[in-house]
Chain A
Amino acid sequence: MSVKVTHLTKLYDLQRAVDDLTFEARKGEVLGFLGPNGAGKTTTMKIITGYLPQTGGAVEVCGFDVEKQSLEARARVGYLPEHNPLYKDMYVREYLEFTARLNRTSNARKRVEAMIERTGLASHRQKQIGELSKGYRQRVGLAQAMLHDPEVLILDEPTSGLDPNQIVEIRQLIKDLGREKTVILSTHILAEVEAVCDRAIIINKGKLAADAPIETLRQQFSGQSIVTAEFSGAVSQPQLLAIPQVQSVKNLGKGRWELRAAVEDDIRAAVFHFAVQNKLTLLELHKSVFSVEEIFRELTK
């Protein structure tokens, strides 16, 4: 197990920022860390990286306790903090070489060059960090985190403030990294979790609200499949409820209706037959399951 968090608790004065949190992250997995602002995401990450001490519980990184074997644990973690703090007056290469030496990376120069290539910083290596745009700074932050080839990467909102093209590139980079390493990534962009992560952990007010692969989460949670149908003429609620397997019906305005059924039942055929029998034209028929967005809102209410 690359990262093992057991009964983690963090108190700020009397406020429980993290409350009895237990989860694990495996190698070759991108773990999405989700939660509303102030849920305790950043605090948890700061504890994993050894920046803050926990009040209770324990965190292990590659088998090393982050408090008792801090140096060993820290050497195995790459960290991109929330606001990506960098030294603005340093040059890209100078900064990365400094980080490499700080991490005691062997053949630092070669690693730095490799990272510059990998993060697409090649044309900017001679620039001062302060001159770079936000997207490129974020790349420097990522390069810095990956420089010493750590087994665990902790990325706190890695795509915040980037333009759509940059977001796609950075996500691809994170996905590639996730194949060989353990990546824990926090975000409040839900599409990002669907695009990048294998598994999601949702925390709310410091407590674990969900921990499951994205697919399972979606299915489990929904429990119901939703069919949206639009008819050309007037239909009444009891008529629709008479359709086999339909559990509930909601009018969305005019001829549009939302029909719910158990997740394993597909009621689309039945709805179509209903329309034919009643000589109605079906203008729309669409089946959907809960989106991560809805799951998130449901869980963090």
Chain B
Amino acid sequence: MTAIFFKEINAFFSSLIGYIVIGVFLVIMGLVMWVFPDYSVIDGNYATLDTLFAMAPLIFMFLIPAVTMRSFAEERQSGAIELLVTRPVTDWQIVAGKFLACLVLVLFALLPTVLYYFSIYQLGAPKGNLDSGGILGSYIGLLFLASAFVAIGVFASSLTGNQIVAFVLATFLCFFTYLAFDYLSRLPVFFGKTDDIVQSFGIAYHYNSVSRGVLDTRDLTYFISISALFLAATVLSLGRRKW
């Protein structure tokens, strides 16, 4: 597993992919947080990181599929998958190696945003007047969300030999699991009756819950389950040749 993990990490940073992903994420975040007048912290007059945590999932929705789209699709296309799965490693090890490598890349992109916390800490009036617990919770939520998106992306990539198909499919699945349940819950069939249950299928519901700074086991269970579900589906899809 470590062999695959380090190979994938090397692939990100020996090509432009890693730098572009981190760069693009930080540029968009920087613009939204500090420059664009409608959202920026400076114009908002509140010492919060809410903008970051509202925007990051939307950026991840496109950026993470771009990171994960090649993970299996490229090898399926080139045939290298045949060599990989005939080595003495289990399919789970292959999937885990690739999943963790993509997740670490996303972590690298997220890490510099910790600077924003310190900036806002200084800008608060009085200094340090911000909800640190909430921010920590939000970061944890964002990590879980990223891991769910990466699992979805790796799964989509394992389905096809075409990277563009993998990207589009992953973006759609990320969008669907993140937001669609919120919107669906407003349909007349559910509204006012079971809308809460419908919402709880979506990532957004649990993400917002964690963002309040309360780490509820239900939310943790949800996030771990959704990542595990898609990773298991990936292993299944990798073993498809055996059906």
Interface residues of A (CB under 8 A from B): 46, 49-53, 71-72, 74-75, 77, 79, 81, 83, 85-90, 94, 98-99, 101-104, 144
Interface residues of B in 65-91 (CB under 8 A from A): 75, 78-90
Beyond A77-B86, A94-B10, A103-B88, whether A89 also contacts B15 by CB under 8 A is: yes
- Confirm or deny: B194 has a beta carbon within 8 angstroms of a beta carbon on chain A: no
A99 contact set on B, CB distance < 8 A: 87
Instruction: Verify B83–A85 contact, CB threshold 8 A.
Output: yes
Shortest Cβ distance from residue B115 to the other chain A in the assembled complex, whole angstroms? 32
Interface residues of B in 1-24 (CB under 8 A from A): 2-4, 6-7, 10-11, 14-15
- Confirm or deny: B193 has a beta carbon within 8 angstroms of a beta carbon on chain A: no
Instruction: Verify A144–B242 contact, CB threshold 8 A.
Output: no
B86 contact set on A, CB distance < 8 A: 49-51, 74, 77, 79
B87 contact set on A, CB distance < 8 A: 74, 99, 102-103
Shortest Cβ distance from residue B4 to the other chain A in the assembled complex, whole angstroms? 7
Instruction: Verify A74–B80 contact, CB threshold 8 A.
Output: no
A48 to B68 CA separation, bound complex (whole angstroms): 31
A to B contact number (C-beta, < 8 Å)? 61
Interface residues of B (CB under 8 A from A): 2-4, 6-7, 10-11, 14-15, 75, 78-90, 241-242
Instruction: Verify A81–B82 contact, CB threshold 8 A.
Output: yes
Instruction: Verify B3–A51 contact, CB threshold 8 A.
Output: no
Instruction: Verify A86–B88 contact, CB threshold 8 A.
Output: no
Chain B interface, DSSP helix/strand/loop, else mixed: helix
Shortest Cβ distance from residue A186 to the other chain B in the assembled complex, whole angstroms? 15
Instruction: Verify B83–A52 contact, CB threshold 8 A.
Output: no
Beyond A51-B241, A52-B241, A98-B3, whether A74 also contacts B82 by CB under 8 A is: no
A50 contact set on B, CB distance < 8 A: 85-86
Shortest Cβ distance from residue A72 to the other chain B in the assembled complex, whole angstroms? 8
A72 to B87 CA separation, bound complex (whole angstroms): 10
A83 to B78 CA separation, bound complex (whole angstroms): 9
- 13 inter-chain pairs at a CB distance below 8 angstroms, sorted by A residue, are A50-B85, A51-B85, A51-B86, A71-B88, A77-B86, A85-B75, A85-B82, A88-B78, A101-B3, A101-B6, A102-B4, A103-B87, A104-B88
Instruction: Verify A87–B80 contact, CB threshold 8 A.
Output: yes
Known: A53-B242, A77-B86, A144-B83. 9 other contacts (CB 8 A): A51-B241, A71-B90, A86-B78, A87-B80, A89-B14, A98-B6, A102-B88, A102-B89, A104-B88
- Among all A-B residue pairs, the 6 with the closest Cβ atoms: A85-B79, A101-B3, A75-B88, A85-B80, A49-B86, A74-B88
Shortest Cβ distance from residue A87 to the other chain B in the assembled complex, whole angstroms? 6
Looking at the complex, which one of B6, B80, B81 makes contact with A86 (CB distance below 8 Å)? B80
A50 to B86 CA separation, bound complex (whole angstroms): 6
Shortest Cβ distance from residue B225 to the other chain A in the assembled complex, whole angstroms? 28
A88 contact set on B, CB distance < 8 A: 78
A88 to B70 CA separation, bound complex (whole angstroms): 14
A53 contact set on B, CB distance < 8 A: 242
Chain B residue at smallest Cβ distance from A100: B3
B3 contact set on A, CB distance < 8 A: 98, 101-102
B88 contact set on A, CB distance < 8 A: 71-72, 74-75, 102-104
Shortest Cβ distance from residue B108 to the other chain A in the assembled complex, whole angstroms? 20
A81 contact set on B, CB distance < 8 A: 79, 82-83
